[in-house]
Amino acid sequence: MTQPSAFGTGIIGGGIIGLSSAYYLHRAGYRVTVFDQNRLTDGCSFGNAGMVVPSHIIPLAQPGMMAKGMRWMLKSTSPFYVKPRLDAELMRWGWLFYRHSTPAHVARAIPALRDISLLSKGLYQELAAGGNFDFGWQERGLLMLYKTAPAEREMAEEADVANRSGVEARVLTESQVQALEPDVRVDVRGAVFYPGDAHLNPGELVRALVAYLRKSGVQFVEEQAVTGFRTRGSRIAGVQTAGGDYAVDEVIVAGGAWSPGLAKRLGFSLPLQGGKGYSFMLNNPTHPVRVPAIMLEARATATPMGGGLRFAGTLEVVGTDQSVNMNRVRGIVAGIGQYYPDIRVEVPPVETVWRGLRPCSPDGLPYIGRVRRFDNLTLATGHGMMGLSLGPATGKLVAETVAGRAPSLDLAPFRPDRFS
């Protein structure tokens, strides 16, 4: 087993994956420094939908997704978009996505996503019960709302897959959905209810983790991009920033959508694209929602949060472009009233719209584990839209990897070199 070093572990990325890795490495006795190019409140973890979803066991790369995506791309307010650009990495990513959109890949991915999701939920329960963190943990389940017969058939099939995989799913009628939401009218054909899902306030979680880690002696280097690495043979000896060179014994790349650039500086390619999403808050709604929901046809979400409602959605494959496309935001707003007709939502001012980049791997599975090129490099990225959901499990697996301990689950499906 690797012993904690005098130099410490450098974690590049201060989102939920990096912070969770810092938490479990600190608990294992390691000195930790977290590097982030922004302030820690600016990342994708801070403003997302806040859902913890063991129900999401089917990867984004699945049969029919390419055709569906092509149809969506023709509409400016649609939930999916690939920004056209001549980019070899994007083309490789698209080809790998296409190759993995098969029933065989889905069958292999389901147990891997189920196991890491259930591990993560259990760790969230431990954090919530421990008394050191207050992040609005609620276990009210998740509603997958649908309005059309094709969506009903699709959701019934997914519910069957979930139940056969050990994840409880219940198909509900419109009246059964309404019974779960006594304070707001819900206009749907039906829904699938996943009682094992949960939600939290991601901003409060990030703040609580940062405060705890600072108090515990973890160092933070904020607003300094990593510009390079100092290597010695098969080991990384230092992390270089504009503010200086930091000696390290271990490096964790948890840089989200910026991870491919870090990988390139270390001499290898990492197929990954940033998938931009948007969110905004509706404060003090007159008709509160009790159960978090995904509005299926609109591909938008609604999450009760801090006395308000957070709406989120869309997936724009854009690399690292962080501009706000208000047509996408208008698409989210237009969808809300179709499911919750009594909730009046106006298009929010652009300055109040949060956006973040989800790091999307081409097969819909995260990258977690050692990189063969270096003896002391671990990747923890590529979680797509499930970064918050899988944060604690990833952090625990990273700490086990660094310490040389047997992992809590099989890491083979997540190995970083699976496309090389």
Query: What mean pLDDT is predicted for residues 193-208?
Result: 96
Using pLDDT thresholds of 50, 70 and 90, give the confidence band for residue 315.
confident
Of 279, 138, 283, 259, which Cα lies nearest the Cα of 198? 138
Q: Are 343 and 184 in contact (CB under 8 A)?
A: yes
Of 217, 303, 241, 281, which Cα lies nearest the Cα of 32? 217
Of 113, 309, 121, 301, which Cα lies nearest the Cα of 201? 309
Cα(310)–Cα(136) distance, rounded to whole angstroms? 14
- Sign of the Cα pseudo-torsion (114, 202, 335, 85, in order): negative
Using the predicted structure, report yes or no on whether residue 125 has a pLDDT greater than 80: yes
Q: What would the 3-class secondary structure string for 385-409 be?
A: HHHHHHHHHHHHHHHHHHHCCCCCC
Using the predicted structure, report yes or no on whether residue 49 has a pLDDT greater than 60: yes
Q: What's the confidence (pLDDT) of residue 73?
A: 53
Cα(12)–Cα(8) distance, rounded to whole angstroms? 13
Q: What's the confidence (pLDDT) of residue 45?
A: 65
Query: Model confidence over 337-356: pLDDT tens digits?
Result: 999 999 999 999 999 999 99
Q: What's the confidence (pLDDT) of residue 319?
A: 77
Q: What's the confidence (pLDDT) of residue 81?
A: 66
Query: What mean pLDDT is predicted for residues 246-254?
Result: 97
Using the predicted structure, report yes or no on whether residue 372 has a pLDDT greater than 60: yes
Using the predicted structure, report yes or no on whether residue 176 has a pLDDT greater than 90: yes
Cβ neighbourhood burial of 365 (10 Å; 0-12, 13-18, 19+)? buried
Query: Model confidence over 208-217: pLDDT tens digits?
Result: 999 999 999 9
Q: What's the confidence (pLDDT) of residue 415?
A: 97
Using pLDDT thresholds of 50, 70 and 90, give the confidence band for residue 409.
very high
Q: Are 335 and 298 in contact (CB under 8 A)?
A: yes
Q: Which residues pair with 304 in a beta bridge?
A: 309
Using the predicted structure, report yes or no on whether residue 69 has a pLDDT greater than 90: no
- Sign of the Cα pseudo-torsion (60, 61, 67, 73, in order): positive
All domains of the chain in start order, with CATH? 63-88+138-197+272-360 (3.30.9.10)
Of 66, 43, 54, which Cα lies nearest the Cα of 393? 54
Q: What's the confidence (pLDDT) of residue 389?
A: 97
Query: Model confidence over 109-121: pLDDT tens digits?
Result: 999 999 999 999 9
Using pLDDT thresholds of 50, 70 and 90, give the confidence band for residue 327.
confident
Considering only CA atoms, give the Rg of the chain.
21
Using the predicted structure, report yes or no on whether residue 374 has a pLDDT greater than 80: yes
